Structure 1
């Protein structure tokens, strides 16, 4: 289970890095762009993720993950005034996650925590949140790719580059490693 905790932290860092790279490629106006009525801009997705992270990870071993102070519906109203403000919120959300999970040990993983009064093992709660964040970070990357068009540089294996990527990988010695070690 120690490998689970190590892998989890690496995986969360990977998704944060994808978001970081996407945000870095875009202007503040790009981050606020909505493509259809009731769609979410990257700024709104960031605001929602931050609200979720702060609620879920603040005192997560001792308090319900849906805090009374959270205003989820307000997360879907973009009121960022600068890119720096958006980035600060983004980093504050991720900091709350890493501060909560980094000190965990194997004995914590089977503890029961609650989200909206629904019991979860810590492992289940971590998995739930990781999938939620991956879902939204994927949306951010996709929106960024649409905005940048041909200027977009892939954050993974670029189209038509699988053969070259695999050739490079298979030239390396076999050894245990997390796939994010190369990112």
Structure 2
């Protein structure tokens, strides 16, 4: 990543931050908890991962050369709870994120203005990236929220723990100013 131009490096760091949050949340659970749905109108973590996987493979495979909604994608199927295999869930998670990151690592800054299509609607590559940079954190937030509920109070905070903001800020402001991406501490 250090060879990437600044904008692409920043984009990759943002995506990696959300990947890490999701992984830290899921690792706090027993794998069988990934299959628990909070209610009949909600999705389990496993189903959310299945949807992210399908979306990521569709969007990031041949990102610059084919429509982001691939003919082989079955979005409706992504919301069917069809597995109880934790290894399959983890493989889907890794495969989706790896596809995304590898695509971004091979991009050049001039390609950010290239027009790409999602469901036959034109976007610049940067607009499409931003679209996914909003979509994926939405679902990672769902994963974190479900995981936190399932932990019943024994949660290891993924950010500044409750009632510790002042202590955190005190430590930050006691140190000299430094230029770095906030994700470097995660």
What TM-score bracket applies, with the shorter chain setting the length?
Answer: over 0.9
Find the partner of 1:90 among 76, 86, 93.
93
Deviation at 1:2, TM superposition (A): 2.8
1:172 aligns with 2:165: no
RMSD: 1.2
Alignment of 1:67-146 (within 5 A): 67-146=70-149
Alignment of 1:13-32 (within 5 A): 13-32=16-35
Deviation at 1:27, TM superposition (A): 1.6
TM-score by length of 1: 0.97
1:129-159 deviation digits (Å, cap 9, x = unpaired): 0110000000100010011021111100110
In 2, the alpha carbon distance for the partners of 1:107 and 1:6 equals 14
1:18-56 deviation digits (Å, cap 9, x = unpaired): 111111111222111111112111111000000000000
In 1, the alpha carbon distance for the partners of 2:54 and 2:171 equals 40
Unpaired runs of at least 5, structure 2? none
Aligned length: 183
Contact 2:22 2:140 in 1 (8 A): yes
Deviation at 1:3, TM superposition (A): 1.9
Find the partner of 2:9 among 6, 9, 27.
6
In 1, the alpha carbon distance for the partners of 2:161 and 2:184 equals 18
Unpaired runs of at least 5, structure 1? none
Find the partner of 1:157 among 147, 160, 169.
160
Point out 4+ residue stretches in structure 1 off by more than 3 angstroms.
none
TM-score by length of 2: 0.95
